[in-house]
Each structure stands twice: as C-alpha cells, then as structure tokens.
Amino acid sequence: TRLADGTPRRSIQLSNIVEQRIFDNNEIISTPKRSRSKLADDADYTPKKSTHKSPGRPRRMSTTGTSTKQKEDAPMTPSQKMKKIRAGELSPSMEQRHQQLDVGHKSQLQLAREQLHVSVVPKSLPCREKEFDNIYSFLEGKIQDQCGGCMYVSGVPGTGKTATVTGVIRTLQRLVEQDKLPAFEFLEINGMRLTEPRQAYVQIYKQLTGKTVSWEHAHSLLEKRFTTPAPRRLTTVLLVDELDILCNRRQDVVYNLLDWPTKSAAHLVVVTIANTMDLPERLLMGKVTSRLGLTRLTFQPYTHKQLQEIVTARLAGSEAFKGEAVQLVARKVAAVSGDARRALDICRRATEIADTGSEPTANAATKCVTMLHVQQALGEMIASAKVQAIKNCSRMEQIFLQAVAAEVTRTGVEETMFHGVYTQIETIATFMGVALPAPGRALNICSKLGAERLIICEHSRNDLFQKILLNVSPDDIHYALRVEGN
C-alpha cells in the first residue's frame, strides 16, 4: 500500500485494520514495532502544517472507501503518492511515541509550569472582554445579515489578538451547533506561513476543498466561487493573520482578499490582524485602504494589573507562587512591553529555578516560587550581557575599548578612525605600564571586538583609516572596568 516504498514485503503484511484506523481517526496504532516503522515512512512526506484544524476538513477525510480499494494494487510510486497528497486523500500524520509516558504524581510546581505554558490557551481570555464583545457583535451581525465586510485588528505582539478572534469564532461555532445562528465556514491563513503572498490563494482553496492546486488555478477558482451567486452559499469567515507580510509591491493579493467581500455574491467576512496600528495608511494603496473600511480595533498592551490577573487565572488556586512574586513579574513586563507571552515565560523560568533551587533538603511538595526566584529569572531574561562580555575581555581588548571611548570623548564625534584610537592606546598603555601592541596586533584585536559586536568596525583592509564605532555605551565600559579595578 501507500507506505511500502522501501520494503514492500513487510508492509504488505500490515493488516488492513491498521490502514483504516489511520484513515478514520488519527489514533495511535496498537502494534508497536510495525507501527513505528510505518509511521516513520509517513513522516517523510508530512507537510509542515497539520491541517485537521479547519472545520471543513473532517467531511472529506472519510476516505475509507478509497483505502480499501487501494490495498489490492500494491506499492505506490512517489508520483502516485504526491498525487494523493495533492488531492488531499492522504492525511499527513506524525510519528507517535513508542509508549505513552508514565506520568506519575506531579508536584505543585510542575502543574503550575504546565498551566503557565504559552500554548495553553484558556477557555476565556481574562481582561479582553471588551474586545471580545466588539469582534463578536461584528461577526454575529455579518453572519446574520449574510453580507460581507472587513475588519482590521491591530496591536503589539502578545496582547491576545489571535486568541481573542479564534475564541470568538469558537463561540460562534458553538452557537451554530445549537441552531441559534446560521451556519458559516471558517478559513484561516497566516502571512508568515506562506512562502509567497500568492500562496494565500492555494491555502484558502485547500481549506475549502482539501485539494492542492497551483496558485493561478486556485485564484481563478476562488474568483469564480466568490463572484458567481449561488443560492445556498454559506457565509465564509476568513481570518488573515500577519497582513503586512501579504503586501508586496503590486498589492494584488491584499486587494483581491479585500475586494471579494464587496461582491454581493461572496458572503465573505474578512478579519485581518497585524501589529502596526496605522498599517492601512502607511503601507497600503488608497484603493486597498478604502476597501478595508473603518471598522478597526486596537489591542492595547496589558497593564500590570491585567498581567497579574492573567497569571493568577492560569495558576487557578495553586499555591506554587507567592502573590508578590507574580506582582513583580507583572510590573516588570508591563513597564517594558505589556506582552503576556513574556510574563508567562518569565514565570515558567521562575518555576524551573525554584525546582532546581539551592536547598535540596526542602520537601518537593512545599516548594514555592518566591521573589528571589523571580528576580533571578528576570535577571536572566532582561539581562545585559554586555558588561559581562567587557569584563571577560583580555587586558589589551579592554585597553582598546577604553581607547575608543577616550577618542570619542576627545573628538566629540561618535565615529573614530583607527589611527586616532591607536594613539590613545599608546597613551593608555604607557600610563598603565603595559607593552604596546603593534598596529597589526591591534587590528586583530579590533576585528575580534567587531565580531563580538562590542564595536562596529569596517573591514580591516583599510587598516589605519578604518572607521570604528562603539556598540556599547561608554558608561558600560567605565562601569565594567571600574568595578573590576576595585
């Protein structure tokens, strides 16, 4: 069958049951040895993205009929396999673990760490109720009215944009199941997952039908679908993440994605997400901005109170964290970016530090993350490695850095020439009583510091006249060297 490219004999022995079970529901296979090799074959042509998320998918996955037909005709050639993949008849599967991991008793900290993982999206997002209502009423209105429209959602990374939008979609899908809302289709593309803007057509078409076709073909099919009226057309909600990646010079992809909703036959609602608040005015052409409309929503960075609420909601009654520890994380992160992912990551790091804490005698059950652990985690994550790097430089490199700083102070210009720096080195070296390096040696030092990015320098071929810029602040140099001196 389909897996038997290398060793046909063995995989023919595989029972049909295995085959069907793979097709039916992506379940682990019970025969351990065989399944391993079999799935390893599978993994070879696994496309990057798992696609079983889209709601339109399960209908077409019921290909048991074809699979029973397949088992008569033995191994497939690679091109046959490719054909099946492009037709969406083989679902990409991943290799499974040989055995289920034996998860014993988990400590408080481990549980907290799992809960704090960024990928665990809570059922309801705290502190985003207003935005949720806003998007919900927009989409609900569009679905009830059965007309098209666009919305633009913006905000800095980690403020819950995608999570809120998908949360709204999930709520709406639940309403559809309860027959409280007309049914709709949900498609989703992400600009970053596309190698090229036009691949968006391929992805959209793939989510509609499961087939992979070339972008020209996909575009013409989509155009046909959205421009010709069909009486029982469902409303389609299209989520476009990372919109700014889809903008090329011609902006034809963005134009088409936003022009389809204006067709009365399309019933298409496009929700676009990007980071930049003024992207439509900054990057998009006038005609595209006009089509994007004025329904916009901005996600503000989280404040420290909100971050605290988010973390405590995740921990949900666990005793693993001290209250003030959470508060410290929230305040530090809110002062810089208001990024929830960062707060969660720092908290996770703090649990790890607490886990491998200094006192091994302490009972694992009573271990708790305190201010000190958080402080250490913050030090690691918001750390400046520059001072350490300067401290660990060799003596001559330190003198070189001092010389650059001195030359900058002397000339008042940030950009210095190598010969000026070398004169300063001469002075400092004489002052300190160290042997002066030859200019060739000094160039070596210079290029080493340049590779470390402590300074910015040109190629050393124009030796004496190469320009040198300091990449660290002069204060850092003084600080690092003074503390060591004492």
Q: Which residues bind another protein (CB under 8 A)?
A: 137-138, 141, 144-145, 147-149, 154, 156, 179, 182, 216, 219, 223, 250, 252, 255-256, 259, 262-264, 275-278, 281-282, 286-287, 289-291, 293-295, 298, 300-303, 334-338, 382-384, 386, 409, 414, 456, 469, 471-473, 475
Q: Which is nearer to another protein, 241 or 259 (CB)?
A: 259
Min dist. Cβ of residue 220 to another protein (A): 8
Min dist. Cβ of residue 367 to another protein (A): 28
Unique residue bearing structure tokens 């410290």 = 328
What is the 3 state secondary structure string of the chain? CCCCCCCHHHHHCCCHHHHHHHHHCCCCCCCHHHHHHHHHHHHHCCCCCCCCCCCCHHHHHCCHHHHHHHCCCCCCCHHHHHHHHHCCCCCCCCCCCCCCCCCCCCCHHHHHHHHCCCCCCCCCCCCCHHHHHHHHHHHHHHHHHCCCEEEEEEECCCCCHHHHHHHHHHHHHHHHHCCCCCCEEEEEEEHHHCCCCCHHHHHHHHHHHCCCCCHHHHHHHHHHHHHCCCCCCCEEEEEEECHHHHCCCCCHHHHHHHHHHHCCCCCEEEEEEECCCCHHHHCCCHHHHHHHCCCEEEECCCCHHHHHHHHHHHHCCCCCECHHHHHHHHHHHHHHCCCHHHHHHHHHHHHHHHHCCCCCCCCHHHCCECHHHHHHHHHHHCCCCHHHHHHCCCHHHHHHHHHHHHHHHHHCCCCEEHHHHHHHHHHHHHHHCCCCCCHHHHHHHHHHHHHCCCEEECCHHHHHHCEEEECCCHHHHHHHHHHHHC
Rounded to 5 degrees, φ, ψ at 103 are: -95, 110
Min dist. Cβ of residue 222 to another protein (A): 10
Min dist. Cβ of residue 288 to another protein (A): 8
Q: Which is nearer to another protein, 46 or 276 (CB)?
A: 276
Q: Which is nearer to another protein, 226 or 321 (CB)?
A: 226
- Nearest C-alpha neighbor of 151 from the set 140, 138, 163, 164: 138
459 contacts: CB under 8 Å, gap ≥ 6: 466
Q: Which is nearer to another protein, 24 or 414 (CB)?
A: 414
Min dist. Cβ of residue 22 to another protein (A): 27
- The one-letter amino acid at 159: T
Q: Which is nearer to another protein, 425 or 457 (CB)?
A: 457
Q: Which is nearer to another protein, 72 or 179 (CB)?
A: 179
Min dist. Cβ of residue 352 to another protein (A): 21
Min dist. Cβ of residue 456 to another protein (A): 5
Min dist. Cβ of residue 67 to another protein (A): 23
Length of the chain: 486
61 contacts: CB under 8 Å, gap ≥ 6: 23, 52, 91
Min dist. Cβ of residue 304 to another protein (A): 9
Min dist. Cβ of residue 193 to another protein (A): 21
Q: Which is nearer to another protein, 226 or 400 (CB)?
A: 226
Q: Which is nearer to another protein, 297 or 325 (CB)?
A: 297
Min dist. Cβ of residue 475 to another protein (A): 7
Q: Which is nearer to another protein, 15 or 290 (CB)?
A: 290
Min dist. Cβ of residue 94 to another protein (A): 33
Helix-helix angle 16-24:32-44, to 10 degrees: 50
Q: Which is nearer to another protein, 228 or 473 (CB)?
A: 473
Q: Which is nearer to another protein, 54 or 471 (CB)?
A: 471
- Nearest C-alpha neighbor of 329 from the set 355, 305, 352: 305
Q: Which is nearer to another protein, 69 or 282 (CB)?
A: 282
